[in-house]
Chain A
Amino acid sequence: MEWLQQLFNGISLGSIYALIALGYTMVYGIIKLINFAHGEVFMIGSFTGFYAIAFWGLGFFPALVLSMTICAVFGVLIERVAYKRLRSSTRIAALITAIGVSLLIQYVVIYIRGAQPEAYPNVLPNRTLDIFGIQISSQSLLILLVSIVLMIILQFVVHRTKIGKAMRAVSFDPDAAKLMGINVNNTISATFAIGSALAGAAGVIFGVYYTKIEPLMGIIPGLKAFIAAVLGGIGIIPGAVIGGFVLGIVETVVSALGFSLWRDAAAFIILILILIFRPSGIFGKNSKEKV
């Protein structure tokens, strides 16, 4: 029973990693940019949700939608201001800019509100359910449900809508897509908007589930989501989801075995191993560069 409980703990943790990883992987898939500022969008989303609930008295779902909207705008803004000009420059330049943007956002937030942590208000009624002998809080069930629904909606958007088709086309070949009449700039903006909205949702969910939020909260989940994205094969949407869950479960298992101090180390060992042995990730295909 204890293992079932630990498995559920891992899935809850993994669903948050997966939500953040989705944004990472989408952006990478389309413009080949590792957006290190993604963790900060997640943090902004968390704070937006916090202010919406604590000061404007919104409920969980309105706060979630508001936070997703603001993060979508914020993500597009970051892309337009910081990344757009660098689109044709080297990838290392864009990567360094991303790290710079990430630090800038962290410290602007600290400048505005200070570095002290904030406690998320209790917006979701919480009851502990006893299912098959394991303790599951109704809150974590709802959060898991919201995560899964958002992932399904994303999958639908990418594969069944016009904008999704445009995204896939741009990701395949931006120049050819342009020739076919696709507005590449708008498509990239849309990608940032959707990815950032998911990060915002993850921020609110994280706040409700883990209570404590602070300006530097995006760093570790951001890195973990990056690992999840690489693990599943960066650029592949189902891969990010599976990567997130695998990472969450691995971390929990490491703790359960009594190595709780090795939890973060385990995540980074996974990153190193996957980069050495299968850089394209679990779902990636080994594709040869065409000359």
Chain B
Amino acid sequence: MKKSVIKILFTLGFLAMVLAACGSEDSGAKSDGGGDTIHIGVNMELSGAVASYGQSDTEGIELAVEEINEAGGIDGKQIKVTKVDNKSDAAEATNAAIKLTSQDKVTAIIGAATSGNTVAQAQIANDTETVLLSPSGTSPNVTIQDDGTLNDFVFRTSYIDPFQGTVAANFAIDELGIKNAAILADNASDYAKGLGTAFKETFEAAGGTIVSEEAYVAKDTDFRSILTNIQSADPEFIFIPGYYEEVGLIIKQAREMGIEVPLMGADGWDSPTLVELAGADALNNTFITNHYSSEDPDETIQNFVTKYKEKYDGSSPNAFHALGYDSVYLLADAIERAGSADSKAIKDALEETKDIKLVSGVVTIDKDHNPVKSATILEYVDGKQVFKTKINP
């Protein structure tokens, strides 16, 4: 028993030595070639529960890095990427951030794909003064801590959750000419509640009336009684922030009950399963907000889509690909304007980012380190997402 413990300790010690050796070799290489490379860490969910988000972000990042390097780099410096897999786990994400900042001495970290795993690294980014840029973490507390203080070195490329609620309200009023609406929100998710609240505030501020507010809980299957309540309030429009599993059923049951008004949701709807559950017919006259659409005729977007298709066998890039891609350009722009690879200078330059044209919109970074940009509205037509319009905040 004791023997085996000692054995394990020895093995661990040996591994630590090997790793430390690797690390010093890396940082040695960096100090040698530090003059002409910019070292960026990528801390992503490459395996585990939300691996598909992390992998998509990473593919976008790699495409952008390849492009920038081929075009001569940033001020003549090539970008070097170190990828670390955080296994979709907050503790692993923290470890990976420690490795990237202390051993690899990266200039900036891109990651993680989800809010929780980004928050797990925030303290390290602030302490080591390394810029941390999350491509797709949408929770407000990625950049702002619970007590309201700003995470100085943390930024993001995606907009925050409640923003989609604001955009949906503006779309309903301006484009659809809606005067009264109902909200049916998933009460078990902060995401849905945040969206619902933002929708209500914006809609009422613009002179609209919320005629009915109902809630459901994830995993429910029967929504007919709630929908009957909404139906009797006779709204012109129903906002349904939630995830596709329940929303698919809500749409199907609503249409069966003869509710024909436009329905709207956010990126939580974006899944092929939604179309299967609701049925293509029921989905007509429904809208979602999303980060971007691959069908948007905008030139920047079409360039990105073409390049992505060349590199990855013709499949269409999703919103995560676009956000990963944009993160690199956002960072590259800041490094260029900072004129150095010093983290503090990059942070200041990022804060001053104004009107930079990216795939997911024209971005200005606000005082909370969130991007201010337009959101894309998609409409479901016969089960397919069709680009409808872009709405500015």
Contacts and interface: CB of A to CB of B under 8 A. Distances in A.
A9 B222 CA distance: 9
B226 A210 contact: no
A202 to B, nearest CB: 13
Interface in B236-276: 245, 248-249, 252, 256-258, 273, 276
B366 interface: no
Interface stretch (A91-99, A103-111, A256-264): A256-264
Nearest to B274: A119
A252 B252 contact: no
A260 B214 contact: yes
Contact of B228 (A9, A13, A116, A119): A9
Contact of B277 (A5, A10, A119): A119
A126 interface: yes
B248 A212 contact: yes
Contacts of A122: 279
Contact of B225 (A9, A117, A212, A220): A9
A212 B277 contact: yes
A50 to B, nearest CB: 12
Contacts of B273: 116-117, 119
B290 to A, nearest CB: 22
B276 A210 contact: no
B229 A13 contact: no
B248 to A, nearest CB: 7
A119 B276 contact: yes
A40 to B, nearest CB: 17
A13 B219 CA distance: 16
Contact of A211 (B220, B229, B277): B277
B226 A260 contact: yes
Contacts of A128: 256-258
Given A212-B221, A260-B216, A261-B215, A135 B245 contact: no
Given A9-B224, A211-B252, A117 B215 contact: no
A262 to B, nearest CB: 10
B319 to A, nearest CB: 21
B257 A6 contact: no
A161 interface: no
A212 B226 contact: no
A116 B222 CA distance: 19
Interface string A239-264: 00000000000011001101011011
B232 interface: yes
B249 A212 contact: yes
Chain A's interface size range is 20 to 34
A289 interface: no
A142 to B, nearest CB: 13
A183 B132 CA distance: 74
Given A119-B277, A260-B215, A2 B248 contact: no
A6 B225 contact: yes
A13 B18 CA distance: 63
Interface residues of B, number: 26
B171 to A, nearest CB: 26
Interface in B203-234: 214-217, 219-222, 224-226, 228-229, 232
B229 A256 contact: yes
B318 interface: no
A128 B273 CA distance: 25
Contacts of B232: 2
A117 B273 CA distance: 8
Interface centre among B219, B224, B248, B257 (most CB of A within 10 A): B224
A137 interface: yes
A126 B258 CA distance: 12
A211 B275 CA distance: 12
B225 A260 contact: yes
Contacts of B216: 260-261
Given A122-B279, A256-B229, A261-B215, A137 B222 contact: no
A137 B257 CA distance: 7
Nearest to A221: B221
A126 B215 contact: no
A135 B258 contact: yes
Contact of B257 (A135, A256, A260): A135
Interface string B296-322: 000000000000000000000000000
Contact of A126 (B187, B214, B228, B256): B256
A210 B228 contact: no
Contacts of B245: 117, 212
B186 to A, nearest CB: 11
Nearest to B184: A260
B229 A255 contact: yes
Contacts of B229: 2, 255-256, 258
Contacts of A2: 228-229, 232
B380 to A, nearest CB: 16
Nearest to A248: B222
Contacts of A256: 225, 228-229
Interface in A1-51: 2, 5-6, 9-10, 12-13
B228 A5 contact: yes
7 contacts: A6-B228, A119-B248, A211-B249, A212-B248, A256-B228, A260-B225, A261-B217
Which 8 A-B pairs give the minimum distances between C-beta atoms?
A119-B276, A255-B225, A252-B225, A9-B224, A210-B221, A2-B232, A119-B277, A9-B225
Interface of B: 187, 214-217, 219-222, 224-226, 228-229, 232, 245, 248-249, 252, 256-258, 273, 276-277, 279
Given A211-B249, A211-B277, A252-B225, 5 more contacts: A116-B273, A135-B257, A211-B248, A252-B224, A256-B229
